[in-house]
Structure 1
Amino acid sequence: MKGKIIGGICLLVFFAMIYSCQSDSSIEYSRYYSAGAVVYQSHCQNCHGDKGQGLNGLIPPLTDTVLFKGYNNKLACQLKNGISGKISVGGRNFEGTMPALDLSPIEMAQVITYITNSFGNKQGIFTDDQVQNALKNCSK
């Protein structure tokens, strides 16, 4: 019994040491990413799929790493205003409508961070401030 308690304490200390070694930016990224996963699951996953694969020729995938490079500002506007018409993703054309989502700027930042760092993408954090700046330049 004492061995289990001591082992548990050692394990707890080990994880505390690992967590304390993370930088502030790493912790902030983790918060945005994990919260973004929740936003994605409740607002995006039903159409774009659990792995960002999209839906055949109807809904575009979120796996085009070339498209997402430097695309964060546009994503913020698309989340706010929705998308309609023809778009090209990964060399394939899609035509339809994505409705505007009623998300706060922080939720947008979180889901953009999640999308642009999942499904083969690696773009880093996109903050609430960056979303608010991007939204100022949206055209409807």
Structure 2
Amino acid sequence: MKLKIISAIGLLIAVLFFSCQTEDEITFARYYSTGSVVYQNKCQNCHGKDGQGLSALMPPLTDSVFLKANKALLPCIVKYGAKGKLMIINQHPFEGNMPPVDLAPIEIAEVLTYVTNSFGNKAGVVTAQQVEADLSKCN
């Protein structure tokens, strides 16, 4: 009987907690948590668990200045990859090949929400609509 009461109270607290969140907070939480899974499956092998990259081979994802300055380019890099001189991050040039990642726009939005709000970054939600608009402008 006590277990049922405790479970009911726990459920009530959870319902109250989630009902107090705004729609934006719920969207952010959903994109961030799903983006974490996409990152683990598609990005972590090269960029590392903590986004530190692999020395001179793979760029880190910890440079919030770069991420913010190139926000519209990030979906293109994820979807289509990059070759040659990739970028300069923390004043260090990275050259090589980032293979394209076959993700739907919503998955790109989720993983970019995760990356741009992890590893010391705080940039808010990247929406699927933003990603679709940015992908339409890729060269």
* RMSD of equivalent CA atoms: 1.0
- Residues 9-64 of structure 1: CA deviation (Å, up to 9, x unaligned): 11211111011101111111111111111111111000000110100111110000
Alignment correspondent of 2:17: 18
Alignment correspondent of 1:62: 61
Alignment correspondent of 2:78: 79
Q: Scaled by the length of structure 2, what TM-score is found?
A: 0.94
CA contact (8 A) 1:32 1:125 kept: yes
Change in 2 beyond 3 A, CA 1:100/1:68: same
Aligned length: 138
Output the CA distance in 2 between the equivalents of 1:5 and 1:103.
43
Q: Give the partner amino acid of 1:74.
A: L
Alignment correspondent of 1:94: 94
Alignment correspondent of 2:48: 49
**Segment drifting more, 45-54 vs 82-91:** 82-91
Unpaired runs of at least 5, structure 2: none
**How much does 1:70 deviate?**
4.2
Output the CA distance in 1 between the equivalents of 2:69 and 2:55.
25
Output the CA distance in 1 between the equivalents of 2:31 and 2:71.
14
CA contact (8 A) 1:78 1:100 kept: yes
**How much does 1:4 deviate?**
2.7
